[in-house]
Amino acid sequence: MNDETKSKVSRRTFLKGLGGGAIGTAVISTGLIKSDSVEAYTPETSSGARAKTALNLKVNGKSYKVEVEHRNTLAEVLRDQLGLTGTKIGCDRGECGACTVIIDGRNLYSCSQLAVWMQGKDILTIEGLAKGDKLDPLQEAFIEHDGPQCGFCTSGQIMSGKALLMKNAKPNEAQARRGLSGNLCRCGNYNREVAAVLAVAAKAR
């Protein structure tokens, strides 16, 4: 399913609605134009003309049409425009991993990906892991094994763990540690996080 059919307002309609290049109007400045059943935050933005691009973001299987400044990172857009604040920003410079999301199957720091690069990519965030009320097995394992202490790194740990399990359903401990090694946990709960990944691996066939 492409994003035009999924979104109620297609990209074409959306562009037409802008009246041909009227970038920077009040409508535009609300950031999020339209999405399916997702409540958007609409921070006031500068009226100054800055480089902006409209694009489709495919996040957790939903299409979002957004207007982003070129300097906006994916982490910022997820949090500020889409309200998907489960993705945290711990350092904003590609060191801590709190912002880890899965992009086309790879765990990546969303603070180090510009939003404008995301056209056509498939983005999975912590909010997209559960199927309705049913948690992902890794989320369940994180609860059982006390994965979160303060919980601020937890989304990132889970997304790196998930990316690993998607590639390798039965990682050993060394592989699990390596797979999560880009995710810092200052509470020092590393052994719990690894145990959660290994618990899911142990159940895999």
Partner 1 sequence: MAQAPKEFSIVGKRIPRIDAYERVTGQAQYTGDIQLPGMLYARVLRSPHPHARILGIDTSKAEKLPGVKAVVHHENAKVPWSSGGHTHQRFIFNNPVRFVGDAVAAVAATDRHIAEDALKLIEVKYEKLPHVLDANEALKPDAPKIAPQGNLSVGKGNFSAPIEESWGDLDKGFKEADRVFEDTYITKHTNNAQMERRVSIAKWDAGKLTVFASTQGVSNARTDIAKDFNLPLSKVRVLCKYMGGGFGNKNQAQDYDYMAVVLARVAGQPVKVEFTREDDYIGMHGRWASEQRYKIGVKKDGTITAVSLDAVTTMGAYRKQSGNLSGTDFYNIPNFKKVILPVHTNTVVAANYRAPAYPQSVFGFASFLDQIAFEMGVNPVDMFMRNRVQKYKSKLPFTSNYLEQCIIEGSKRIGWNEKWHKPGAMGGQKKHGIGMALGGYPFRPGLGAATIRVNPDGTAHVLVGVTDIGTGAKTTMAIIASEALGIPLNQIQLTNGDTDVTPYSVGESGSRTTPFTGPAVIAAAEDVRRQIFNLAAGQLKVKAEELDLRNSEVFVKADPAQKLPLGRVVSRAGEIIGRATTNPSFKDVEGKSFSAHFAEVEVDAITGHVKITRYVAAHDSGTIINRLAAESQIMGGVVQGIGMAFTEELIIDKLTGIPVNPNYRDAKVPTHLEVPEVEVIFIEHYDPYGPFGGKVVGEPPITAAVATIANAIFNATGKRIKELPITPDKILQARQV
Tell me which residues touch partner 1 (CB under 8 A). 41, 43-48, 69, 71, 79-80, 83-93, 95-96, 98, 125-127, 129-130, 135, 139, 142-144, 146-155, 158, 177-178, 180-181, 183-194
Residue 184 CB, shortest distance to partner 1, in Å, is: 6
Residue 198 CB, shortest distance to partner 1, in Å, is: 12
Q: Which residue has tokens 């300097």?
A: 71
Q: Which of 73, 68, 28, 55 is closest to 121 using CA atoms?
A: 55
Q: Which is nearer to partner 1, 10 or 194 (CB)?
A: 194
Angstrom distance (rounded) from CA 59 to CA 78 = 9
- Helix axis angle, 190-203 to 154-167, nearest 10°: 30
CB of 161 closer than 8 Å to CB of 197 = yes
Residue 191 CB, shortest distance to partner 1, in Å, is: 6
Q: Which is nearer to partner 1, 54 or 60 (CB)?
A: 60
Interacting residues of 71 by C-beta distance below 8 A, sequence separation 6+ = 114
Angstrom distance (rounded) from CA 165 to CA 160 = 9
Question: Dihedral, CA atoms, 48, 43, 123, 132, nearest 10 degrees?
Answer: -160
Q: Which is nearer to partner 1, 10 or 81 (CB)?
A: 81
**Helix (H), strand (E) at residue 196:** helix 190-203
Residue 12 CB, shortest distance to partner 1, in Å, is: 29
Q: Which is nearer to partner 1, 56 or 148 (CB)?
A: 148
Residue 124 CB, shortest distance to partner 1, in Å, is: 12
**Helix (H), strand (E) at residue 35:** strand 32-35
Residue 40 CB, shortest distance to partner 1, in Å, is: 10
Q: Which is nearer to partner 1, 10 or 59 (CB)?
A: 59
Q: Which is nearer to partner 1, 20 or 188 (CB)?
A: 188
